[in-house]
Amino acid sequence: MVVLEMKMNTNSLVISIVCIACFLVVAFSLNTVFLEKVDQLALTWAESIRAEPITALMHGFAFLGATKTVFVLTVAVLIILFVARASHKELAFTAVTMAATGLVNLFVKEWVERERPAQYMLVELSSYSFPSGHSMGAMSFYTVLTFLIWKRVNKQSHRVAFVVFASLMILIMGFSRLYLGVHYLSDVIGGYLLSGSLVFFLFWLFQPRKSNG
């Protein structure tokens, strides 16, 4: 068990480093011809498949990923953890991860100052575009939930089912930002990478360490 925990700690740190390295590559490539062309193609494709039923669903995901909604969901998870007598580290990990996700997103948006693709937008937003806050929030929230549930569920099929569910929620949330024309594809990918780096780093940070004594 100790060996497994040490391996998970090491893997989490490696994943975090890889994610932040990839995020920096994306961040410093935003103005390249290649990425601009990819972003344009993705938005054009998303615009071409718009239909009323899909649009309604995507607006639903926009609400689900809004800051206030994520805050309420996070508080609900914390209450459940508290009632279930979860460890202080689990409570702290959940709270710190979600709070840090929002703060880091705001900081990076102000640092990069990327304008949104105004000509494609179905929703009026005034904040900056990179990275996608909805994508970051979904990545953090559902990854944290996966960690928490994985620890409590022993049946492998149930674990896999939740991982599939969480992955779909993350992917659809990112797609909804592209579909609604409020983000470039690189905003979504950047959000996933930055949030992934943050979550796995904090997971590594909050894990118990083997005592030297």
In a domain, 95, yes or no: yes
pLDDT at residue 4, as a whole number:
39
Q: Rounded to an integer, what distance in angstroms lies between the CA atom of residue 151 and that of residue 1?
A: 13
pLDDT for 42 equals 96
Work out how many domains the chain is built from and give that number: 1
Question: Which residues are identified as catalytic?
Answer: 134, 183
Within a domain: 171: yes
Residues 188 and 137 sit within 8 Å (Cβ to Cβ): no
Question: Does a structural domain hold residue 211?
Answer: no
Handedness of CA 157, 163, 168, 169 (dihedral sign): positive
What SS3 class is residue 127?
coil
Q: What are phi and psi of 117, to 5 degrees?
A: -75, 75
Per-residue pLDDT of the chain (213 residues; tens, 9 = 90+): 333 344 556 788 999 999 999 999 999 999 999 999 999 999 999 999 999 999 999 999 999 999 999 999 999 999 999 998 888 899 999 999 999 999 999 999 999 999 999 899 888 888 899 999 999 999 999 999 999 998 888 889 999 999 999 999 999 999 999 999 999 999 999 999 999 999 999 999 887 665 544
Distances (CA, A) of 143 to 36, 136, 160, 169, 196: 29, 11, 13, 10, 8
Residue 112 belongs to domain spanning: 2-206
User: Read out DSSP for 62-85?
Assistant: HHHTSHHHHHHHHHHHHHHHHHTT
In a domain, 91, yes or no: yes
Q: What is the pLDDT of residue 206?
A: 85
Question: Does residue 19 form part of some domain?
Answer: yes
What is the rounded CA–CA span in Å between residue 171 and residue 86? 29
Residue 213 lies in a domain: no
